[in-house]
Amino acid sequence: MLQNEIDHLSSDSRREHLLPMHHSQPILVSVIIPTYNNGRFLTQSLNSVFQQNFTAYELIVVDDGSTDDTQSVLLPFQEKIHYVYQENSGSAVARNTGLALAQGEYIVFLDADDLLLPNKLDDQVAFLNENPLVGMVHSGWMLIDEKGNPKGEMRPWEKAPVLDLEAWLWKKPIKMGAMMYRKHWLRHVGGFDPELRQSQDTDLMLRLALAGCTAEWMERPTMCYRQYAQSTIRRNAPAQYKYILRVQDKAFAHPNMPEALRQKKERARYFSLRWVIWHIFSTGFPESVVEPMMEAKANSPYEPFDMAFDWMSYLGQHLLDEQRPLSDLDALKPQLEKAVTLEQDEWETIERFLPTFFQHHEVGQKVESPHSKWWFWKTAVLEEQRTAVSSEKKYQFWRDVWNPVFKTEPMDNSVLNATPEEIAAFGRLCIVFENEIPKLNQVQQLWEKLGVNKTVLVAWELTLFGQYTLRRHFGQALKALTYASWHTIQAPNAFVAWKTFLQTAINYANFTK
């Protein structure tokens, strides 16, 4: 369905299909298109607005000093648009120019190389009409290439389900054309900062949130975001570094910034710089990432090994969302090695983990944080020499056997080409590194499904005993110990599990002295 909509909007045969602007009725929405040397895409962008079913809108095109054929492209539409020319001053000033002229109650900012999907205006107007306390509505978007071919669908609400100050600060799920604002909020905060040539959208969202403007999701795509090598945002990517730091300094100096968040300024700086590293790298300037990497390192909450992992897993997620191979990270390896000093085996540990973790990744899919299994993976790698069982095999057990059972999903035990001793070791790792300790009865049920000997069950029950004790769940600890004792009586061979447990406990005690 969306493919048909994109084809419809991209078709040159639709260029002359223009819906009349019903200026006799009140203007409810102002669509503002700032443009600079984007003449080749403007017709498609304009038509995506003209083809909306909603008609109570005006279309304001602000030409920010274009030197291409923009004016001649716009000539056939002169009766349908409000055209303004200004000397080149940047997109922030161009958007402010459009905002000053806007008559509509609601505002949409559409970049000149992007497209609105059908019913965007209808649906978002209806949403804001039905939710009068909401200051703006956000949505997903389709990725398209230079020729308008679809590349994927972005569902940002899966990674930032609540649109509040922390979401704009940490996750930045921003795409201007996917949003619709109430005009009075934009004017209340003074529009865009004209001093910012980059990151003005992030700055705006932070100031809106700090002023009390609320935002909600409409969980579907409403526009198409065009990605191509010569787009303005990609050409200017290296400059993003300095601007994002200025934006953050402004936000943290704002009197409405909560003190609890103000204390996290360094952490916020780190995560913003991580995004900058991706942005610069993804737009084709890998040699320019070293300086922001060094700045991120100075603000990092992680030790170097874990920080390098954090960078690479974050970049890997974005690569796969853009349907690019993880191997593209190879181009960044020289810069990573300049910024972070690691042993070769540490780099290899990270590089082995990424394809394993992202094996079943889908574009735009909400992926569990790689950090949730990073400690599991590091421990599995350390144990490889002792157990001669690969970390990949242990991770596969967690993914296909252990995890599905506790999520009540079908279990795939076809991966269990392992001995009972190996299965016992896999389960111990899973118990130790789960965020929440599994329940005793769930572990027993999994053992029954696998049909392995009682040595495995006793090993898991003793591990549960240890974890319950460490977390002071003494009632559960006693219950696990009782079951382990009873099952050992039934299967004397299970005494080997006690030996392993006691050795582990001694090692742990020595480690924590």
Q: What is the pLDDT of residues 311-327, one digit of tens each?
A: 999 999 888 877 788 89
- Report residue 11's pLDDT band, with 50, 70 and 90 as the boundaries: very low
Q: What is the pLDDT of residues 122-180, one digit of tens each?
A: 999 999 999 999 999 999 999 998 898 998 899 999 889 999 999 999 888 999 999 99
pLDDT score of 102 more than 70: yes
Distances 374 to 318, 356, 377, 434 between C-alpha atoms, Å: 18, 11, 5, 11
Return the ∠ at Cα 192 (arms to 190 and 194), rounded to 5°.
Answer: 105
**Which residue has 């690969």 as its token pair?**
390
Q: Which residues of 151-176 are buried (b: 16+ CB within 10 A; e: fewer)?
A: bbebbbbebbeebebebbbbebbbbb
How far is 456 from 305, CA to CA, in rounded Å?
Answer: 33
How far is 446 from 401, CA to CA, in rounded Å?
Answer: 9
Which residue intervals of the chain bear CATH 3.90.550.10?
2-228
2-228 homologous superfamily = Spore Coat Polysaccharide Biosynthesis Protein SpsA; Chain A (3.90.550.10)
Q: What is the pLDDT of residues 227-250, one digit of tens each?
A: 876 655 555 666 777 888 899 999
Cβ partners under 8 Å of residue 255, min gap 6: none
Distances 360 to 244, 363, 390, 393 between C-alpha atoms, Å: 33, 10, 19, 15
pLDDT score of 513 more than 80: no
Q: What is the pLDDT of residues 419-453, one digit of tens each?
A: 888 888 888 888 888 778 888 998 998 888 888 88
Phi, psi of 63, deg, nearest 5: -85, 110
pLDDT score of 193 more than 90: yes
Q: What's the pLDDT at 251? A: 95
Q: What's the pLDDT at 120? A: 98
Q: What's the pLDDT at 300? A: 93
How far is 107 from 102, CA to CA, in rounded Å?
Answer: 8
**Which residue has 């100075």 as its token pair?**
298
Contact 107, 30 (CB under 8 A): yes
Amino acid letter, residue 119:
N
Q: Within 10 Å of residue 388's Cβ, how many Cβ atoms?
A: 8
- Report residue 3's pLDDT band, with 50, 70 and 90 as the boundaries: very low
What the block records as the tokens of 312 is 């690479």
pLDDT score of 21 more than 70: no
Q: What's the pLDDT at 229? A: 65
Contact 400, 411 (CB under 8 A): yes
Q: What is the pTM of this model?
A: 0.74
pLDDT score of 9 more than 50: no
Q: Where are the alpha helices (DSSP H) in 399-453?
A: 403-406, 420-433, 440-450
Q: Within 10 Å of residue 368's Cβ, how many Cβ atoms?
A: 9
Q: What is the pLDDT of residues 205-217, one digit of tens each?
A: 999 999 999 999 9
Q: What is the pLDDT of residues 400-421, one digit of tens each?
A: 888 887 777 777 766 567 788 8
Q: What's the pLDDT at 506? A: 77
Q: What's the pLDDT at 236? A: 60
Contact 181, 106 (CB under 8 A): yes
Cβ partners under 8 Å of residue 499, min gap 6: none
Q: What's the pLDDT at 182? A: 98
| Cross-strand partners of 34 | 62
Q: What's the pLDDT at 1? A: 39
Report which of residues 507 and 292 the model is more confident about: 292
| Cross-strand partners of 224 | 115, 142
Contact 274, 242 (CB under 8 A): no
Q: What's the pLDDT at 67? A: 94
- Report residue 17's pLDDT band, with 50, 70 and 90 as the boundaries: very low
How far is 58 from 94, CA to CA, in rounded Å?
Answer: 16
Query: How many helices and strands in the chain, by DSSP H and E?
Result: 24, 9
Q: What's the pLDDT at 511? A: 58
| Cross-strand partners of 469 | none
